[in-house]
């Protein structure tokens, strides 16, 4: 089991006085938390309202799938069509979950497990992060030097558009793990140069595409 610590803030609560809830994140009976990232890390995302989480879990001898756990329920439940899914992320309203599929596409489905939809084709085995830029748009990155940078695509489906450029003069090689901020006007990301162990924080403007580390 994985222990979760959830802090919920009220209008009058201070950071120091916020109430912390402690409970084990128990996978559904017969399943276990999966660690698909090099065998040491899992995929997990917390909903914007802090009331549910999506995580990777597996059964013996099977691939992992995404499971949704509402915190007012005892166990999580599998989401259909999410076998081998990567980088799950909740939409800003908490109604949708976007994820990377094994065939390189980006898909989404509702938290009820319905309306599974292909948003776009990213790149086979090359996806390296997804986030909701706004309720109507996604941002993602590719773990590929052939198509580096940050890309955006309508959440309803369409062709992705690159909007940031790699700082080749500064030795930047990849922009990974996007995290929107300021209402989607900025995107923070992990910037790497000579290798995968030299991550720095970068930020890009979604209006101009200008990025800096």
Q: What is the pLDDT of residues 111-161, one digit of tens each?
A: 999 999 999 987 655 788 999 999 999 999 877 666 778 999 999 999 999
76, 65 contact by CB (below 8 A): no
Positive or negative, the Cα torsion across 33, 191, 101, 46?
positive
* % pLDDT > 90, the chain: 46
What pLDDT does residue 108 have?
97
Q: Helix or strand or coil: residue 184?
A: helix
Residue with tokens 């949704």: 68
97's CB contacts (< 8 A; 6+ apart) are: 45, 54, 66, 68, 79, 88, 89, 90, 91, 108, 109, 110, 111
Q: Name the pLDDT band for 2 (thresholds 50, 70, 90).
A: low
Q: What is the pLDDT of residue 16?
A: 62
pTM here?
Answer: 0.84
Question: Phi and psi at residue 210, in whole multiples of 5°?
Answer: -70, 130
Distance from C-alpha of 164 to C-alpha of 138, rounded to nearest angstrom: 14
pLDDT digits (tens, 9 = 90+) for 79-102: 999 999 999 999 999 999 999 998
In this prediction, residue 74 has a pLDDT band, given cuts at 50, 70 and 90, of: confident
């Amino acid at each position: 089991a994985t222990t979760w610590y959830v802090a919920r803030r009220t209008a009058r609560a201070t950071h120091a006085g916020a109430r912390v809830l402690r409970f084990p994140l128990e996978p559904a009976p017969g399943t276990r938390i999966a660690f698909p990232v090099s065998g040491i890390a899992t995929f997990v995302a917390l909903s914007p309202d802090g009331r549910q989480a999506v995580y990777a879990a597996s059964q013996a001898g099977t691939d992992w799938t995404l499971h949704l756990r509402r915190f007012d329920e005892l166990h999580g439940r599998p989401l259909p069509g999410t076998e081998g899914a990567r980088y799950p992320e909740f939409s800003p309203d908490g109604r949708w979950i976007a994820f990377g599929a094994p065939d390189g596409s980006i898909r989404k489905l509702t938290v009820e497990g319905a309306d599974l939809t292909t948003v776009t084709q990213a790149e086979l085995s090359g996806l390296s992060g997804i986030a909701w830029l706004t309720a109507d748009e996604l941002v993602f990155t590719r773990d590929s030097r052939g198509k580096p940078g940050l890309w955006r695509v309508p959440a309803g489906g369409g062709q992705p558009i690159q909007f940031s450029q790699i700082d080749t003069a500064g030795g930047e090689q990849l922009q990974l793990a996007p995290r929107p901020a300021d209402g989607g006007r900025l995107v923070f990301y992990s910037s790497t140069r000579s290798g995968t162990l030299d991550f720095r924080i970068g930020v890009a403007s979604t209006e101009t595409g200008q990025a800096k580390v």
